[in-house]
Each structure stands twice: as structure tokens, then as C-alpha cells.
Amino acid sequence: MSDTVMLSFEINRDSLSALRKDPEHFLPEMRLAAAVKWYELGILSQAKAAEVAGISRSEFLASLLRFQVSPFQYGADEIAGEVKR
């Protein structure tokens, strides 16, 4: 059994309305958004980001397209450098 932590926080109802989310659908969306951003910043791997989001790695990869985030954590310069080596 994994070691998990329960987190809770408060959010204003107006904020939920602005996001067009009810509390039940907000949490998974928030987890996904955080995981995508942390992946984009290079803080998390795809596997860990998917775990944070609570979805499979393939679902996470599909979500990257929705958020317009590249599935590759390497920049163009880094890829060019690898190709030259």
C-alpha cells in the first residue's frame, strides 16, 4: 500500500463558477493542471506527473495535447546537440 497524504483547501464559489466547474469535477482538473505544469517545467517525469494527476500515462500524454504542452522535455537546441553527437 502506498503512503498517501490527504490535502484539503478552501476555494471561493465564485472561483469555481469562473472556471465552470463544480467541486466534484474541479479537483481532478486541478490535479491534472498542476501535473501538466510541473511536467512542462521539468519538475516531474511523465510517469510521476500522471501519478499526481491520478490518470494513466497514456491519458496524461493525451492531456498534454489539450494543454498545448509538448510531450518532449528537451528543447530544440538540446535535441540538435544530441543529433550531432
Q: Who wins on pLDDT, 84 or 50? A: 50
Cα–Cα–Cα angle for 10, 13, 18, nearest 5°?
Answer: 120
Distance CA 36, CA 50 (A): 9
Residue 49: which of 63, 60, 64, 65 has the closest Cα? 60
Distance CA 58, CA 46 (A): 9
Does 6 reside within a domain? no
Position 11 scores a pLDDT of 86
Print the domain residue range for 69: 13-84
pLDDT tens, position by position, 13-32: 888 888 888 888 888 999 99
- Total structural domains in the chain? 1
pLDDT tens, position by position, 53-78: 999 999 999 999 999 999 987 766 76
Does 36 reside within a domain? yes
Task: For residue 12, count CB atoms less than 10 angstroms from its CB and return exposed for 0-12, middle for 13-18, buried for 19 or more.
Answer: exposed
Q: Who wins on pLDDT, 85 or 57? A: 57
Distance CA 67, CA 70 (A): 9
